[in-house]
Chains A and B, each alone.
Chain A
Amino acid sequence: MNAPAVEVTETAHRRSGGRLGRKAMRGAPIASFPALIRQIPAYQMVPDEAVELIHQESLLILEEVGCEFRDDEAIALWKAAGADVSETRVRIDRALLMELVSKVPPEFTLNARNPERTVRVGGKNSIFVPMYGAPYVRDLDNNRRYGSLADLNNFHKLAYMAPALHSSSSVICEPMEIAVPKRHLHIIHSALKHSDKPFMGIVTSKERAEDTMAMAGIVFGEEFVRDNPVLVSITNCNSPLVWDATMLDAMKVYARSNQPLILAPFALCGASTSASAVGAVAQVNAEALAGVAFTQLLRPGSPQIYGQFMVTVDMKTGAPMGGTPEAAQMMYLMGALARKYRLPWRTSGFHVGSKLNDAQAGYEANMLMHAAILAGANYIWHSAGWLEAGLTCGYSKFATDCEQLVGWYKYAGGLPFDDFKEAMAAIREVGPQGHFLGTQHTLEHFESAFFMPSIMDFNSFEQWKAEGAKDHDTRGREKARNMLADYEEPKLDEGIAEGLKDLIARREEKLPDTIS
């Protein structure tokens, strides 16, 4: 009856600097969150016996069918380790396999060039990593075109600015105008220059992997990068059951320097695995374990990332799909296996088939990220930008993903009880029929209590219309544009910057302009 229009309880009495002060406080960029420490349990979708059954079947695949390792040195290493080898086919018995797998540390530290951005990966520690490999971009004007170095620079800048991204990836999009033999140098340079977060290596040839290590050496010190993880690289199994020479070459370079590899087969389920979610997991698990075991022949005890990137295939075209329920279910199975093996593990998130940052993209992304989080993944990669099954990186999608990651970071960080008492006091203070918008508790907590995304629009219809009735895709692009306008490059020691430039110049002199 007599409830006042706005109720303001007694509030803290202090000056904040008025408009300017508040603006500075709200506008202060947070460069990065620490690695996420999961405070929610991992969800196990199937009983332990089912996990065990899949594990046993994977072991049988490697014992009976075996796996191809198409490289002489790899074959020699397997022979020396006592595996059953015929030509390039390697059959690995379970004792040998599990002994090798058990050498991998359950957690490791991934060093960044700025020590404040250094993260832990494994156990309860998880990181989000932006996408990789897009030939195309959907640009700030909503055009789809081949990526350029300017785009790549932009995505590295955005990755640097996004608080919930813990890595700059590497080739977020392809700088198509640069000659292929020289391209890797500029990709790595862009990541190192525009961001100070950990990054990813190049794997398309041994020489390019070595160049990546040389560049890392300039930044971190040659000694340091021989033993300490500073970059993570993806080597894909060619499912079913083939590790090819290119990937094995890259593995040799990186694992021998203690640089973690991701052994997480990218399987088009239904095309490169059987059309069964559990069957696909048994196969991919076998492939991943074989890859992990091989790295331990290269360097026992080297940190590695086990896992999967499994999508289902669109039987109308053969193309990979995005957020299907089975893709989510398979994440839970792989997560349970990873915990059984005590391995850090990777899965994807936010990887969609949609062409635009639209409703399809939103549904797909959410289906997968929710599962990745609940499944307890440690290296959640392809977490920003991904459209069209990886063919395109979208600015709008990138900005949206970065913002949504802040939400997922919070979600997985668990529910804080630290202000529970105060919250209970607030309900007593307000009583029936009042509201909480003006209470001291609300004032103190509103900024952190609930996620406040800026690209999502919750305005009144009229306000939204007055602002141009913009759809989500448009708002995402605007956000990306604004972020880029605010970007400030992180400091890089001048000697290091020169060193990188010198190395690139020297290598470019030697490398040809065309592939042959």
Chain B
Amino acid sequence: MADDEIILSELSDDELVQQMHDDLYDGLKEEIEEGTQILLERGWAPYKVLTEALVEGMRIVGEDFRDGILFVPEVLLSANAMKAGMFILRPLLAATGAPKQGKMVIGTVKGDIHDIGKNLVGMMMEGAGFDVIDLGINNAVEKYLDAIEQHQPDIIGMSALLTTTMPYMKVVIDTMKEKGIRDDYVVLVGGAPLNEEFGKAVGADAYCRDAAVAVETAKDFMKRKHNVRIS
């Protein structure tokens, strides 16, 4: 069916949600914005729109990305469409006290300019509904601390691709410890020369080998955080 034949507002709720999954898959930003508005107008709770239409749609995208059916540029387009839906939902979610998807500050550490991997992680996190603040490259510890203070994130992400800069992650984590704020945040680290062991050695909560694992891990930590709050 050609897409111009579909009038979103004429679809039933179920059909519309299905269509939004397809539109996310196809990376159609405006259609996602429209679909999000329609569901809200029909009285859907913002959190229900988020989880059933957007997050579920991106789960499918993530699965096909993992299986090599979708490619990076296509996933970025999907993530961008998701972000547009999130933009509408974010204030409403906050107002209704819905559980937060989570906020992440991410940056490449001091002395390092590699950012292709970090950018991918940032975009995939946004695609999963996270609020992402990207500090760019070459970040000294002060930059992370300032960002923590200003944005109050749930997760700190650090990227390094050089064996000469990856030890700097420990500098950041140690400083957080000194300030007594280390345990208030989840610290994720990544970059090709790192590994699980290194992540542990510098005191990170997790090392993630790629963007998909980063999203899964971040979601996991957010879930645990919510559970802790409830109990």
Contacts and interface: CB of A to CB of B under 8 A. Distances in A.
B111 A316 contact: no
Interface residues of B, number: 21
Given A316-B72, A317-B72, A318-B120, A204 B164 contact: yes
Given A271-B116, A318-B117, A515-B171, A135 B193 contact: yes
B9 interface: no
Contacts of B113: 238, 244, 246
Contacts of B68: 316
A180 interface: yes
A176 B71 CA distance: 34
Interface string B56-76: 000000000100100111000
B41 to A, nearest CB: 38
B167 A515 contact: yes
B163 interface: yes
Nearest to B67: A316
A317 B210 contact: yes
A268 interface: yes
Interface string A167-188: 0000000101000100100000
B193 A180 contact: no
Nearest to A247: B113
B168 interface: yes
A180 B117 contact: no
Given A316-B68, A515-B171, A174 B111 contact: no
Contact of B163 (A176, A246, A268): A176
B164 A315 contact: no
A516 B109 CA distance: 11
B168 A515 contact: yes
Chain A: interface size category? 20 to 34
User: Chain B at the A interface: mostly helix, strand, loop or mixed?
Assistant: loop
Contacts of B116: 268, 271-272, 318
A28 B73 CA distance: 55
A391 interface: yes
A403 B73 CA distance: 40
Contacts of B165: 515
B120 A180 contact: no
Contacts of B211: 318
B171 A316 contact: no
A212 B71 CA distance: 43
B73 A315 contact: yes
A225 B167 CA distance: 33
B11 interface: no
Nearest to A144: B195
Nearest to B109: A515
A463 interface: no
Given A318-B116, A516-B171, A180 B164 contact: yes
Contacts of B171: 514-516
Nearest to A245: B138
8 contacts: A174-B163, A204-B111, A271-B116, A315-B73, A316-B71, A318-B120, A391-B193, A515-B168
Interface of A: 135-136, 174, 176, 180, 183, 204, 238, 244, 246, 268, 271-272, 313, 315-318, 391, 514-516
* 6 cross-chain pairs, A with B, having the tightest CB-CB distances, nearest first: A135-B193, A315-B71, A174-B163, A135-B163, A180-B164, A315-B72
Given A204-B162, A238-B113, A318-B117, 5 more contacts: A135-B193, A174-B163, A268-B116, A515-B167, A515-B168
